[in-house]
Structure 1
Amino acid sequence: MKKLSTIPVQLSIACAVILLSLSTARAQEIHLHVPHFAGSHYEWKIFQGKQELTVRSGEISPDGRVILTMPDPYQDYRGMTRWLLKKGGGLDMIYTGKGFSVECLSEKPNSDNIIYTGNPENDYLESHHSRQQTILGKLGAVNHLLQVYAPDENLHKIALDEQTHLRQAFSQVQADRAESLLYAARFGKIVDFTKGIADKIYDNPEDHTTYFNDFVTHTLDFKDLYTSGHWDQVLHHWVMMNIRSGKGDHAFIERMESAMSRMNQDNILAAFAEKAVPLLVEKGKDDLLPAIADHLENRPAVQAALSGSVKNMMASVKMLTGKKAPDLVFHAPVRTQTKTSAEDIIIKTGNLDAAHTILLFYQGECPLCENTLIDLANKYQQLKEQNVRVIAISADMTDQGFEDKLIYHQWPDNYCDFTGMAVENFTKYGVLGVPTLFLLNQEGVVVKKTAMMDELMEILDKKKPF
């Protein structure tokens, strides 16, 4: 009888590891079959914050087949991916580290003829979206009936009952999604945020806004957002929501700190700073930057990952609110409303002879600045009646740039010394972007810094005599 040779234990283990690796590799493959697009060039992209990274590219085989595998540096990637054809079109597919297949035998792909196999994520996304949209569509029709029929008509009562039923159904669909562990469920909530769809139907717009604000502040998983393809849009809406809120800067700082405390990964916190810091500067809210800087203080990897421009913005913050405003100094030659002065002009902020003074830092070629100039011009008569002085400081480098915007200047105090933004007045006031507005009181103390005229008018309106 022949003896079976003994395989060394080490070799058995090595073979098992190799087989397991091969099995895992196959399990992570995405098989696409799109025969009508054979020979087309494609790119496979992933999302990291606001960036789209191409991780694979090539041509579809003559029989219309493609096999995609995630490159080694991105093996831990979990999120939305985008497969694009050079000639146009493509697919958005959720990737969670598991293989699946996609087939479309039509030359005109749509949600009905694109078949996913082995991908519960995309199946869930499609089915939940369909249920949600069906309910919302019916709600729209019912709401229309409630407007058309009077409360004493029978159809109004029927429509009211149906509205209640549909609202309950919608809330249940959203509650069911909250119980799901799939990435697709969390991704769906992100997409809903971008479309203004909440967890239930709110009658009060303020409650609607509070839900979205709380969602980002306390609930949203920033790792999911980072790989969703909606990073920029969601954060932009959230920051602007808080800037426009009537609850003030302190409430926004608390929300920012709460959100940042949940950003445990350095790349995610760095991406947040890259988005939030320039937006806050643009909107004249750089007084809020120290809250971000304090949070980054013990995160050296995050600080190292920031771009040079964001680092400069954070290092240049000057906190002037509640302090005496620096005097304004314009070095000759200085262009004014009516002439060019051959001598320096100095404006002492402690002697402005007005109940309040608005300082506008702007640049002629800036579209947002032009909007502010128009807004200020429209409100100037009202400001004069309130004894408010307006002083405009231009960052224009040419006489023509300054001249082009004089049409809006109904106030006499307009100054430009053609030295741009990197000079004395802009530096002393810590102006990092334009337009920037300061409101000074009678003693020349800074009351408010912002980029929005409405915020200053709100303060001034409260100070109107009865």
Structure 2
Amino acid sequence: MKKLILISSILFSAYAFPQFSITADIPSYLADSEIYLYGFNGSKEILYSKGKIANNKAVLKVDKKYVGMMRVFFQKTNSSVNMVSENKNVDFRLELDGKNKISNIIFGDQTNLLFSNEVEQQKKQELILPALVQIKDYYKPSESFYKSLEAEINSLSKGDLTLYDAHPFLDYYHQNQKYSVQEKAVELKPQDYIDFYSKSGEYLETSTLLKPSLINYLNASKSNVEGAVDKLLEAVNVETPRGQTILSELIEIFNTYNMDKLKDKYLAEANNLKCTINDRLSATLKSNNNTTIGAKMPNTVFLNPIHTKAKSLYDIKADKKIVVFWSSTCSHCESELPKLLEKYDKLKAQNIQVVGFSLDANLDEYRNKAILYPWVSDSEGRGWYSSYGDIYNISATPTYFILDSNNKIISKPNHVADVLDYLKLN
């Protein structure tokens, strides 16, 4: 009996305590901020923890193994801190400038100190190294300043690769960053990318390299994008988790860049898969299927509504609804929404309601702008971390939908002029 109790105690301890914690010393300005920790699955950010704050110290605990890039989001400043997790504790101190924007991040753990130095080294390589090479030409090899410049150039060019021996993820990131950087990617061939995706180990999905490298692959294959995608998907096998994550990323890239023919083709391929679908692809399929023409737009409960006593989108009754996703900091919204405002009386006369969902992170900024528009507005106050992106497949603002009286999507205009054309209000 004692052995059973001991085993139960050990098992309980394993589940009761986190794998690792992230601790941040924060200025008093952020003491009332919501703080969220995200990990990555490709370009999709996954919420891992919500911060608890006491005495100007924020603590975020992770209860499962995670190795890769992470991001801590501070809602009050609408800004993030990027870091590396090696499934070990991370600690940093945050400093703000006079406008309460993040001005400096000082890491205390070895992994992120090394990563910070890597980022700094890259900045020097991009900004300083070319200048040093040019300056060196003005001196003779026999001069001491020439030798000093040469030593600095060699130092900036190479770096100390032995530093990564004890950090396998950082070593992976360092070795493969070339696939995601446009300036370096010009030296690579399409087959190099295919080999990279096919042979990469477990770190690819959490590295944040996947989406930018896929964009570079598509650019390298622009003479025949469809053929290149087919070749890639065959190599990575869409019945595997890796293949499905890549398929998901490609569908979302095509959606963002309005490559509708390719998006529709690979959405159909994904929907026709007979194997088990991983969470990443399942979420992509759901958000796209939620917003196809003829689909009933998912309902959402209002959290911070303006100009309405309605509790949800479905509670607003109208012959038609214009649903627009926008933000107070979006320049295109600034130019387009006033044109919708000009036609607002005509819209009301035809029993057409406008509902705006804001992707602002700052609720005060949302309210200050939304109050100027007479239509219904709402916001979760979480910026691009709002649920709207996943539910309604939103990748840019403004994004428009026109619904019928039963909340079915009847049009997905690209611009406000298309909205007005569809409703014959131009």
Using the size of structure 1 for normalisation, the TM-score is 0.46
Larger Rg: 1
